[in-house]
Structure 1
């Protein structure tokens, strides 16, 4: 159960990182 929690945390962090990078790229190109 603890391993699943870590997996969810890393997954959420990955999604957040991709979203931030996408916004930065859009802001930079726009």
Structure 2
């Protein structure tokens, strides 16, 4: 999922990288 977004939109994926990680962590309950 994350890899697909980064592959499709490197610039956008790079900016959303930290946000995505935080969102994933929160969803997982880390």
Considering Cα pairs closer than 8 Å and 6+ residues apart, tell me whether 1 or 2 has the greater RCO: 2
Q: What range is the shorter-chain TM-score in?
A: 0.3 to 0.5
- TM-score of the pair, normalised by structure 1: 0.46
Structure-2-length-normalised TM-score: 0.46
* Bigger Cα Rg: 1
The structure with more helix, counted as a fraction of residues: 1
